[in-house]
Amino acid sequence: MLPHRHLLISAAVGMVGWVATRDKKAIPLAIGSGVLPDLDHGADYAWYGLTGTHRLLLPLHGYEWSVPLFWWSYKRWGAPLAVLTTLSYLCHLLADQVENQTKPGGYFFLYRLWRRFAMERISRDPVAGTRGRIEDIKRLQKLAARFRRYL
Ligand SMILES: [Zn+2]
């Protein structure tokens, strides 16, 4: 899913959290846990750059990570913001899973590890998944080219 969609979803979760808690950290925490997991796509692009093959490594995408995320958030900000942070993260995973058409376990890190991170063993439509990855890489290359103009 594109980052702006995750931003919209997590901002909405954050707004609900802010209304419920009146804590000004609600929106930035929801956006952080709802958008930042996609930084891990860098691992997949690096893998592709090194091997020329697409893998679904996505080390920050995993339903099992919601437990340590909740625990860490609970220790830092207490129960209401821990629920909010975890909920925003889970919304990210669910949105990705629906859009990317993976098999039911596809957004569990351990499932992907068991399937050796192979696109064809995790995705219900590996051709579309690979095509999506190639489109992502092209978008990043265009973005990098734009930044190079300003350097
Ligand atoms: Zn994602």
Mean pLDDT to the nearest integer, 16-43: 97
CA of 92 to the centre of ligand 1 (A): 6
In contact, 55 and 119? CB cutoff 8 Å: yes
Q: For the whole prediction, is pTM greater than 0.85? A: yes
Question: Mean pLDDT of all residues in the chain?
Answer: 94
Q: Which residue has the tokens 């999506």?
A: 132
CA of 37 to the centre of ligand 1 (A): 6
Show Cβ contacts of residue 34 under 8 Å, excluding neighbours closer than 6 positions: 6, 7, 9, 10, 13, 14, 88, 89, 91, 92
Q: pLDDT at residue 34 above 90?
A: yes
CA of 97 to the centre of ligand 1 (A): 9
Radius of gyration of the chain (CA): 17
In contact, 48 and 32? CB cutoff 8 Å: no
Model confidence pLDDT, tens digit, residues 115-128? 999 999 999 999 98
Cβ < 5 A residues, ion ligand 1: 38, 96
